[in-house]
Chains A and B, each alone.
Chain A
Amino acid sequence: MHSPYSIPVLHNTIRIMTPFLFAAIGGLFTELAGMLNIALEGLMLIGAFFSVIFTAFTGNLFLGLTLGILSSVLVALIFGWISLYLKANIFITGLATNLLAPGLTTVLAFQIFGNKGVIRFENIPNLTHITIPIIRRIPLLNDILSGHNFLVYLSWLTVIIAAIVIYETPFGLRLRATGLNPRAIESYGLKPRRIQLAAILISGFTCGLGGSMLSLEMGAFVPNLTAGRGWIALVAIYLGSKRPLGIVIASFVFALTESISNYVQGITSVPADFILATPYMVTLLAMIGWSVWQYYRAKE
């Protein structure tokens, strides 16, 4: 921590963490409702594509962001409706969503811009950056936590709201009960499918935000922009023991790995491909380590 580079690395960690955090918090809702939601990846990509496109077309960041999130909520609705009401296997429909997202975005990009590669927008409004007044005088904290764009702070707010909704509201109770035993929920005259659909829509909403952050901060859309972040977010849910605070810690660890890799890429001759592989490798090792721990804890 004494290296002069640790501050930019940590500053970037906070930034990189945001999409993971958004996706994982949304995924927590579906996970608690008893569904394996592998569609996080695809939903993020949808949000990323449509928010940057709509922002460029309308010239209004707020409008573009809203329409982008609506797009991923719409895809989540299709995904959820088919899974729950047409009774399709949610793992397969999740794969479908992950296949639909790159297909749809590429086809539309080709149709609109005649280009399947990187689409850059020149006049896109910048994400507003925020300085936190309270910590302005604390040098280290200020350098790391302050001066990010508003989506970063929105993600923290989302975690807090999610924790309140999950643990302190009737909806949260019903959500968790649905995951434990949907039949019991039914016997109370509630409809478990509706609660599950709501959870899927929430995951569509937060994934839309997470994806938007990726494209809007660059002012561009890149094919496969999400690059496995939805999957890593899924692992973060498990490693975070399906709790909001745990998810924050797991997301931070993954983001820190990525931030360090980015930094190492600039100063060493380690091939870029190996560095690109590290987030997956670290996630995998963390997952294996976690299951080993769970295994021996259960044995005792």
Chain B
Amino acid sequence: MKLGAGRSEFFINFIAILITLSIAFVAVIVLIFLLSSQPIDTIYYFFIGPFTNRYYLGNMLNTSIPLIFTGLGIAIAFKSSVFNLGGEGQVYAAALVTTVICLALPTANGYFGGTLALAGAALTGSFLAGLSGYFRMKWGTDELISSYLLSASIIMVVNYFITGPLNDPTNNLLATKLIGSQYFLLKIMPPSKLDIGIFIAIATAVVAFFFMYHTHAGYEMRMCGLNREFSRYGGIDTARYLILPMLISGLLHGLAGGFIVLGTYHKAIKEFSFGMGWNGIAVALIARNNPLAVIPAAFFFAYLDAGAKAAMLHSDVTFEIAAIVQAIIYYLVTAKVIYRFIRYRKRVINA
């Protein structure tokens, strides 16, 4: 957070996150003992389940792909002190646009059409988030609330298209038609759903890190994040950095939507991306808004998700215990008292 944050600051952050996550895991165990009639089995499936076979492991890694994108989208916005709470709608709308582009080009070359579809997804996300950024820049409309409201209404509109005009009548699912198979991303760990999107997600995180820490624009964005007034006196065009972080944030959310269609679902299904936007916020918080740290943070969240799913499949608890655990992480992840405790301990040890 601070300028010139050195190794010591990194260490403190790391320990604090570790403490937070440990508390969350203890909470999982307590919850399972309270709720399950066979707690030991449930705990086994929750914690070990995701690693027991290729299928679970691959699916878990696959879940992390959209989370890396949304986590990056939030991290870059937060780092610039701009708040994008419209991730849910941006991912969902972008997923629909990706599907529509692929369906409109049923015989196109896979690389050409796929690139076009992803570009459409990125533009959709950028546009939606950019609107809130624009209102903020132009009239000072609070982007946190406006992005949420815009997203909430866009979700309804996307629902309409998926269940209405674009619905596939030959299928009982509330979903669109399947896109052409030339658009499917290559699976790398059959029989699981994991596809090459994971490499693109990781590469994007590296690019985002480079952008934020090694480019002029990235530097100015971080400065605005630290203190917008001060940056303005320093000659930075601060208005620009109200809209640019939103555009980038929306772009990354859009890509999340694009990749779940091309890589995993191959169509748009009603409500299929729900949670990816909110979880992106948790991922960014655990990563302390560092783009590279977003990768392990997304893996962790995917693990939590996979654990809850495995426990639900093999035991008697419901998937939503994951939401309670996530809430506990949200509650504690910014608690300054934990950091103070570590600093205090460290001083005592060093003295």
Contact = CB atoms under 8 A, between A and B. Distances in A.
15 contacts: A88-B335, A92-B281, A92-B285, A92-B333, A95-B278, A95-B281, A100-B324, A107-B31, A116-B320, A271-B160, A273-B160, A273-B164, A277-B156, A284-B153, A287-B146
B139 A99 contact: no
Contacts of A288: 135, 139, 141, 146
Nearest to A102: B323
A235 interface: yes
B331 interface: yes
Given A89-B334, A96-B327, 12 more contacts: A36-B144, A86-B337, A96-B331, A97-B327, A106-B323, A110-B318, A277-B154, A284-B149, A284-B150, A288-B141, A291-B142, A295-B139
> Chain B interface residue count: which class?
35 or more
Contacts of B332: 82, 86, 88
Contact of A284 (B31, B146, B281): B146
Nearest to B320: A106
Interface of A: 36, 38, 78-79, 82, 85-89, 91-93, 95-97, 99-100, 102-104, 106-107, 110-111, 116, 228, 231, 234-235, 238, 271, 273-274, 276-278, 280-281, 283-284, 287-288, 291-292, 294-295
Given A82-B335, A92-B334, A280-B152, A99 B160 contact: no
Contacts of B142: 238, 287, 291
Contacts of B188: none
B133 to A, nearest CB: 13
A116 B334 CA distance: 31
Contacts, number: 141
A111 to B, nearest CB: 6
Interface string B249-281: 000000000000000000000000000001001
Contacts of A38: 144
Given A95-B278, A291-B139, A107 B320 contact: yes
Contact of A100 (B83, B146, B157, B323): B323
Interface string B129-172: 00000010011111011101110111011011001100000000
A271 B159 CA distance: 10
B321 interface: yes
A271 B164 contact: yes
B326 A103 contact: yes
A99 B326 contact: yes
B336 interface: yes
